[in-house]
């Protein structure tokens, strides 16, 4: 055997000693991923609150003009626009954390609805934030004329529709599926499962214009993330979690 072959195969011509270290290399979930749900909740709530500083439906033409033309006006709303993508990114990490905890017991049916609803929620969030900041960005950065009150009302209505109607319905589906998975695997406490189902039903069938209801979803995500972090930090709870997810 040539010297080059002996070096590849090891002392006895067995390739296992050379290949084993490479085969054992795996990606591990970063510990910081556990706070993804808390980060999403904070960024999402902040973004929504800041975007609400836009002129309301009853604003006069002078109020609309002042909002777009004053040097310091609209800055908070722009911050909200730029925070929205980061809240979506944090939510994607949260999805990955939940899937990592489910492990090899993931069911294809629930996995499809889980991923689909989560990704659609992020898409609707991005569309709503883009619409909410489009006029302001055009005036501030592209020197476009100030929109009239009718245009502002139309854009506001579109933003409301994408966020409060479509995004919240996808959030409700996500909550139902995640709560069902947590209940069947026994990895979520009963109070969290019950809260998830109740909150999801409220978001799903709500037909009112109560804007504060949009805060229900980030509050639930923060609760789930807190349970995950608490379970990981508790040795006994972590062992029970692994027993449920890998049985």
What pTM value is reported for the model? 0.78
Instruction: Kindly indicate the confidence band of residue 27, based on its pLDDT and cuts at 50, 70 and 90.
Output: low
Q: Quote the pLDDT of residue 18.
A: 52
Higher pLDDT, 10 or 190: 190
* Least confidently predicted of 56-60, 97-101, 203-207, 242-246: 242-246
Helix, strand, coil shares of the chain, percent, nearest 5, are 80, 0, 20
pLDDT digits (tens, 9 = 90+) for 146-186: 888 788 888 888 888 899 889 999 999 999 999 999 888 88
| Residues 133/52, Cβ–Cβ less than 8 Å | no
* CA gap 171, 197 in Å, rounded: 12
pLDDT, residue 143, reads: 77
Q: Which residues of 67-91 are buried (b: 16+ CB within 10 A; e: fewer)?
A: bbeeeebbeebbbbbebbbebbebb
Residue 49 binned pLDDT confidence (cut-offs 50, 70, 90): confident
pLDDT of residue 76: 78
**Cβ–Cβ under 8 Å, residues 224 and 188:** yes
Question: Which of these ranges, 21-25, 43-47, 115-119, 177-181, has the smallest mean pLDDT?
Answer: 21-25
The alpha carbons of the chain give a radius of gyration, in whole angstroms, of 24
Q: What is the separation, in whole angstroms, between the first and last Cα of the chain?
A: 47
pLDDT at residue 125 tops 90? yes
Number of Cβ within 10 Å of residue 137's Cβ equals 17
Mean pLDDT of the chain: 79
């Amino acid at each position: 055997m040539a010297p080059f072959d002996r070096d590849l195969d090891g002392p006895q011509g067995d390739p296992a000693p050379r290949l084993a270290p490479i085969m054992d290399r795996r990606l591990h979930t970063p510990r910081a991923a556990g706070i993804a749900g808390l980060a999403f909740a904070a960024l999402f709530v902040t973004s929504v609150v800041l975007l609400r500083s836009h002129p309301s439906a009853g604003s006069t033409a002078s109020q609309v003009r002042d909002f777009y033309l004053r040097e310091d006006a609209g800055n908070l709303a722009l911050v909200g626009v730029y925070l929205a993508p980061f809240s979506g990114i944090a939510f994607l990490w949260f999805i990955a954390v939940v899937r990592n905890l489910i492990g090899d017991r993931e069911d294809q049916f629930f996995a499809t609805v889980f991923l689909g609803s989560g990704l659609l929620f992020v898409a609707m969030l991005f569309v709503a934030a883009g619409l909410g900041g489009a006029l302001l960005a055009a005036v501030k950065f592209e020197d476009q004329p100030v929109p009239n009150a009718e245009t502002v009302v139309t854009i506001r209505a579109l933003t409301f529709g994408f966020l409060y109607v479509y995004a919240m319905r996808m959030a409700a589906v996500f909550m139902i599926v995640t709560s069902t998975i947590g209940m069947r695997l026994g990895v979520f406490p009963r109070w969290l499962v019950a809260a998830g189902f109740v909150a999801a039903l409220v978001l799903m069938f709500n037909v009112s214009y109560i804007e504060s209801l949009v805060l229900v979803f980030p509050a639930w995500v923060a609760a789930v993330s807190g349970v995950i972090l608490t379970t990981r930090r508790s040795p006994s709870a972590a062992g029970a979690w692994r027993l449920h997810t890998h049985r």
